[in-house]
Amino acid sequence: MAHRVTGVLIFFFLFVHVLDTALVRVSPQDYDKVVATYKTPLVALLEYGLVAAVLFHALNGLRVIAVDFWSKGPRFQKQMLWTVVGIWVVLMIGALYPVLGHAAREVFGS
């Protein structure tokens, strides 16, 4: 279920990203205004959520491939899921500062 949800969220992001990037051809000034609205702490939190969705979707996708193509995959589904979750948590902790560091400096000062 989480794999489907993250897939839909990533699709929605890509759809919006293509639309706002296409805006640069129509009106560069409006594009600059849109990009300026993205430089807020709230959007930084959304970016962290995007990183979370992409990482989980990618790692879980590898697990799904292993279950489908490895003869012992179905037997180790649960262990592989917990491995994916563990790796995901470690990577998300590692992404805290790079993704949210600017937002923290913006809110709390540098």
Task: Calculate the alpha carbon distances from 95 to 32, 78, 100 in Å.
Answer: 27, 26, 8
* Token pair belonging to 9: 């969220």
**CA pair distance 28, 96, nearest whole angstrom:** 32
Q: Which residues of 20-45 are buried (b: 16+ CB within 10 A; e: fewer)?
A: eeebeeeeeeebeeeeeeeeeeeebe
User: Would you tell me how many other CB atoms lie within 10 Å of the CB of residue 53?
Assistant: 19
Determine if residue 57 is labeled as part of a ligand binding site. Answer: yes
Q: Which residues are annotated as a binding site for heme?
A: 57
Query: Residues comprising the binding site?
Result: 57
